[in-house]
Structure 1
Amino acid sequence: MALVGTLTDTFNDNIIGPNWGNSYGGVSETGGKARVPCVAGVFAGYQTAKDWTLAGSSAFVQLPLAAAANGASTEAQTAFNIIQATAGTYLAININTVAGTIRFENNVGYTDGAAVSLTYSAATHAWLRIRESGGTVFWDTSTDGSTWTNRRSIATPAWVTSSVNAVAVELLSWRNNGTTNFSEWDNFNTAASSAAVYFMSAGLTADSALTAPLTPSAVLGASLTADTSLDASVTQTAVLGASLTAGATLGAQTDAAARDDLTPLVGQPQSGWTVSQPWI
């Protein structure tokens, strides 16, 4: 398929992805972790198909939880392996919580008499890496997935360079006896997006008070074009209505003619008149 460094998994979807199609022993993806049972006499592991290439590439993984001893008499094993077609020939980082050790192994026939063994620390060995570069295989560990410490290096075994698209990744647990528990794995080849996050604090002080006055602004109306600016003053015009009437003085005019010189005339009634007393 491709270089093993292109295989990534955050295990966040709680579904065993298709890249881990050779998984066995009751493994599961739970709580955003790959969970591998550690059962007496039973091997279990997340495992890819033998479709990958380690030469010129790197594989690393976070180990939040190694399987605890839980009553095992000799071995409660948590191992990160790069395996190939020949059974028992593989590269490994192997943690045994009964002995309290972490071993960096180049196994042939399931053993390595020259393996480098250190005291296991969950914090110091929180991330594990196996890589090949320029004819050398390296085993590294990290506290944060960002800064790495080399623990062992050897000349690249012939099978690493010849096994093009023919190696697999395995995340394994096993115990010789004792009570069942599990190991948990996370962030396969994804440390760059989640490691080395630093939180820093700062003390803040006020140098001055906010005293700038506020300036009210009102826009009454304007006609704008795309290539002109708004800089014309605005004139507000009010049109008022008025009802006008003509004023006049109405006076009553009286007849100034004298009324005291009227002379009543009494005469004989004329035809067409109706005569009544005292004329009759």
Structure 2
Amino acid sequence: MPALATLVDNFNDNIIGPEWGNAYGGVSETGGRARIPCVAGSYAGYQTAKAYTLAGSSVYLQVPVASAANGATVEAQTVFAITPDPTQGTNLAININTVANTIRFESNVGYTDGAAVSLTYSAVTHLWLRIRETGGNVLWDTSTDGSSWTNRRTLATPAWVTAAVNTLALDLWSYRNNGSANYSEFDNVNTTSNGAVYTGTATGSAQTAATATGKRIATGTGTGTADTAATATGSATYHGTATGSAETDAIAISDGPDTADAHISIGRPTRRWAVSEPWK
């Protein structure tokens, strides 16, 4: 039973993964984000296979870009939805509409929810979104940082949520009724890690003591220090200094043989050397 919480993608490889096998409408993975065109009269989205379960699980993600109005008169939508198969128009969703400047927390049946909770949209306050099911309720939450969450709506779990085992899809989509095309972007599905790896300072021992300074690997623009200060744009790796020992202290020497215990004498040449086959 694959729970929605097991789906993890930070989109940093810029390749649409197989978990989004039902993606549609010309989407792409660009700049470490899922980019979805927002085109007049046309739907586009990242969609998983209909193979997941929400009951007792959750899914959260980041919305760094909600499609701007750009001349739309009714809607320019950026939507995070959990949809059962095969029921059409039934889903749990968080819908951002930049024409109305609203964010709605929806439990749709027949494409509508008259009891949806609607707030004024804030790209900062509503940067992170989450839908979860626990204790017989569905909860819609928002966060500024993906760590501290504010509940926006709580509803008794619809029957289809617990009945739809391994038949739910996560659908991230965008649509506008008119106006100029642009795009929405989603990021960091079920993760707050955006790809940086940091290894701290460590000490240890084998047969005698060994110590090492840390190593830092940074993805993206960053500044760090190893032996001397360094600044890098893009991926950068900084290695610290290290000392260590195995059975005795190890000391690096220059390339070449160790001649400390070798004594070489060169005498005068002598005659009467005989050379035989095959060197003759």
Equivalent-residue separation in structure 2 for 1:10 and 1:101 (angstroms): 26
Equivalent-residue separation in structure 1 for 2:186 and 2:29 (angstroms): 9
Is the Cα contact below 8 Å between 1:9 and 1:190 reproduced in 2?
yes
Amino acid of the structure 2 residue aligned with 1:40:
A
Can you list the C-alpha shifts for 1:142-170, whole angstroms capped at 9, x where unaligned?
A: 00000000000100000000111010001
Give the match for residue 180 of structure 1: 181
1:191 positional shift: 2.0
Give the match for residue 40 of structure 1: 40
Equivalent-residue separation in structure 2 for 1:131 and 1:60 (angstroms): 8
Give the match for residue 66 of structure 2: 66
Is the Cα contact below 8 Å between 1:61 and 1:186 reproduced in 2?
yes
Amino acid of the structure 2 residue aligned with 1:49:
A
Instruction: Tell me the SS of whatever aligns to 2:162.
Output: helix
Give the match for residue 96 of structure 1: 97
1:192 positional shift: 6.2
Instruction: Tell me the SS of whatever aligns to 2:160.
Output: helix
Give the match for residue 18 of structure 2: 18
Can you list the C-alpha shifts for 1:94-153, whole angstroms capped at 9, x where unaligned?
A: 000000000000000000000000000000000000000011000000000000000001
Large movers: runs of 4+ above 6 Å: none
Q: Which is greater in Rg?
A: 1
Is the Cα contact below 8 Å between 1:146 and 1:192 reproduced in 2?
no
Equivalent-residue separation in structure 1 for 2:105 and 2:129 (angstroms): 10
Question: Which structure shows the higher strand fraction?
Answer: 2
- Segments of 5+ residues of structure 2 without an aligned counterpart are 196-247, 249-280
Equivalent-residue separation in structure 2 for 1:193 and 1:131 (angstroms): 22
Is the Cα contact below 8 Å between 1:145 and 1:192 reproduced in 2?
no
TM alignment of 1:141-180, pairs within 5 A: 141-180=142-181
Is the Cα contact below 8 Å between 2:10 and 2:194 reproduced in 1?
no
1:62 positional shift: 0.3
The number of equivalent residue pairs is 196
- Segments of 5+ residues of structure 1 without an aligned counterpart are 195-225, 227-280
Between the aligned residues of both structures, percent identity stands at 71
Alpha carbons of structure 1 residues 73 and 193: separation in structure 2 relative to 1, 3 Å:
closer
Question: Could you state the TM-score of these two structures normalised by the residue count of structure 1?
Answer: 0.68
